[in-house]
Structure 1
């Protein structure tokens, strides 16, 4: 069975433009507004995407604010950190500081020590109730 041949004419953009009537001025203003809104929306989306990528790279990147402590030979003695008879509960290292949590006389205390300088930076007493009066 042979089908009759039809002449096929390629569609071009000039054919579409010739068939369209010019838009009403009110509709043209709406079209321009929508186009501007789309551009602003796409720009906002791209700025947000770049901000998220930068934030992720910042969090994943190397941490330069806490350099590693250099290895030292021997031991360093820090006097007066733990009172006699106290019970050490936990320790934590954070870069160049060490936090010691201990119990002394029924009170929970925290001492923050600078490891490099072997110096007590801060002493805290943890408890319930009002803070003690300062002199």
Structure 2
């Protein structure tokens, strides 16, 4: 059996070319870790900023993307067609449904989007 001598087990110094490569790799490792750390801190700062600024400005309802100011109330004026007689109103999320009769007496349903302050559908009933 072969017996190894203690001096053969010790690490021998690298040749100068390999030492240069090792130093470059260690420097690259340090730079890479620094860049990743800075990026992680930037993402975390963005998340904290978004959470902190969103809670104070507006409250978003769960049913739609309608944004209601947290400090006040939302005031919107619905511009319905002239002569439209409202018989019934229903709400779902940020949408209002006006059921009634138009100026010529036809039954109609108007679908009004509160968030965009506009009529999104006019349905004629026969």
TM-score (norm 1): 0.46
Q: Which has the higher strand share?
A: 2
Q: Which has the higher helix share?
A: 2
- Structure of larger gyration radius: 1
TM-score (norm 2): 0.49
